[in-house]
Every structure is written in C-alpha cells, then in structure tokens.
Structure 1
Amino acid sequence: MLGDAGLALANELARRGWRVIATTRQHGGGPRAGADAWHERLEAESLEMTSPQQLAALRERLADRRLDLLFVNAAINRGNLPIDKVPTEMFTEVMITNALSPLRAIETLRGLVRPGGTVAVMSSEQGSISLNTEDGYELYKASKAALNQLMRSYATRHADDGHTKLLIDPGHNQTQLGGLDAPLTPQQSIPAVADVLEAQAGTPGLRFLDRHRQPVPW
C-alpha cells in the first residue's frame, strides 16, 4: 500500500530482486513511475484501503498468488491540534485510516502469506506510549498507538500461524506526512527498513523495531 515511503520501499525491494505487487490509490503509472530500472518486477494494483469492498476484490484478484511478505503502509495526519479541539469527523477519519484499515487489510490478505512468511506494518515511534514525553500531534500519536495495540491483538490471536510479524518505525522522513523539515529522506531510511524485513524473515512472533533493528519501547 503506497505513500511516499511505500513507493520507496516497493522500489527498493524490486531493486533487490523481489517481485512486488504494490497497491496505490492513483490511477495510471502509479508505482512504476518510481521504479524505472526494476519495473518488470513491479505490478500495480488499485486500492482504496479504507474500503472493505475493494479489499475483498483485491483478495479475489490475488487468490492464486502466494506472498513472502505482506507489508501495509497507510497513514494520514490532520495537523497539530490538542485533542479537545479535534472534530469528531477528523478523529474518526484518522483512526479508520491509520489503525482500523491496516488491520482490515492484514486480516483480508493474510491467507495469501505463505507459511514462514512475514506480515509487517509501517508504524512510528510516535505510537510509543512510554516515549510520549513531548507535546503535540495528539491524534496522530493516538492513532499509531491504536495501530500497535491492534497489531498486538492480531499477533495474539494468530500466535500459532508461524508468520513473522513486525511493526516498523522508519524514522522521521521528508514525505507528505512527515513534512519537508524532517531529518531523513525515504532514500536514506527505506533501504534500512528493507534490511530489517529481510533480516527478520523466518523469525515468528511480533516485534516493534526501528530501522536500526532496535526494539522500540511500547
């Protein structure tokens, strides 16, 4: 599922020789625009991830495929408001996009992941409750904490499926979500994220890791 970081990850995995099925809300060129040299290893599928109907349709289109890795990357940020100033509609939109929809996607598509495969989600240090020691972005932080908790519940419910399960903090990146003042670019951080995915493959259980393969406090 592609954002700026998702596109960079799809490109990086294709560069490493993976065959990648990338979903995008865009029509037309989609992810191939960012994968010039590797486009033959990159397929594009259209998906609005907040739509259960579109998720189900994607599952049907991929019914005969098997995945080594299912990676979900989806998030929005609606600004730096204290929680008492957040409209109900905004709260609902952010929680549906950042927490509910990624787990719906995983539950819908997990049957495509081969035994020993990996199910991973792009999370954030912002979702760490113990590291929440600075003011700001309360709704975004809450949505990422909810994502982490839902992924923990998912891992508990599917503890015996043998899948590697990962929550990954890629660092603060210069994306539409992270802003232009962020210290990292996806080109700097995403190869390290790919390293984590490859290094953790075949290790069952849930881990919350940063791009340096270090645990992030819950």
Structure 2
Amino acid sequence: MKRILLTGFDPFGGEQSNPSWEVVRRLDGLLIGDSHQIVSARLPCEFVSSLHLLEAALRQHQPSIVVCLGQAGGRPDISLERIAINVDDARMPDNAGAQPVDTPVIQGGPAAYFSSLPIKAIVQELHLAGIPASVSQTAGTFVCNHVFYGLMHCASAMDNIQRAGFIHIPYLPEQAVAHAATACMPLDMLKTAILKVLESILKTDKDLRIAGGATH
C-alpha cells in the first residue's frame, strides 16, 4: 500500500486552533482509491523544528505523495501554491521565538522550487465541486514557505516521492468570529476539498494548460 503524507501545523499567532491540523488529523488512515493510504503528521509552527519533523516523517513513511497544509487567515479559498522561495523573512516570531530575516531556508539551495502537484487541474476539480479555489503565486516568507521549500528540496533527492506541494486554507468559522468580516470555510468543506485534491492528484498525469496567473 502506497502512502500519502499530509501535514498540518500547530496553532500560532494567538489562535486556539489551526485548520490545517484540524482537517489533516481527521483524514489520517483513510484509503484513497485502491492503492493509497493517508498518514498525517503535525508540524510545529517553528522554523527549525518544523523541517526536522517533516524530514523524519518522510523517512518513516516513505510516501509517494506529500501535501503540506497551512493556515492563511483572510484568504477566501483553497490556495494551491505554485512556488516556494529560498528565503525566510518573518514579520513576527514563530512559536519558538525565532524571527529570521533575509536568511535562506537551505544554504546554497536553488532560488526556488515549483510544486509538482497538478495545481490547475486541482483548482478545476474543486470548482466543479462548488468549492472556491485558486492558484496562489506566493506562500509568503514565514514557516509555511519554509516547510514548502524544505519539502521540495527533500523531494528532489527522494525517488519515492512522485508528487509534492503546499496548500493554504482559510480560517475555520469559529476562528473568523474573532476577525471581523474575515473569510472562512467549514471543516466539512475543507475535508471534502482535500479529499478531492488527492483524488485529482492520483488521476492526473499532466497538469492542465489553462490560465491561473495573477496581475499583482
């Protein structure tokens, strides 16, 4: 049985929960199709230890597909990240108090890595299911981008990983009440969305060539 590794983060920034972990932990152990099983891992919202734990999970589970999830408060949809950049530039400290500024994720690594997920096919599948989704051109420069870049760096050296990438998701409704008029998405819709993401990955050999860019 092949494995799909899903990861989510601890709460950060004063939040009591993190939608990325809330959805990921509820999918642990589920079968996708006849040949893939989901395994879930929780990452700390910390620059240093997040990659250590991710690398340990990659070694332990030897997944063929890896999708890391993170919270993007204020975004209204499922955001398929296109590119991870080799820079940490934190506007606030992580959960361990670290606040790197203009430092590389991986010293000597390439400037960027592209997601190997079929991001445009996934967006189309989510739209067909009535779920808001889009291609995102930036994963930021905080711990989410740090993990995304670290994942793709590891994946480039691991033959077992066929597809890997990062997805940002909105607040849960119970979080949004503390952020006036902020977009959110119910947990059941998030679960449905991630399952459709995985189904789309398994059935898509080559991504769609359709517009998904941005003007700013």
The TM tier, using the shorter chain, reads: 0.3 to 0.5
Structure 1 length-normalised TM: 0.41
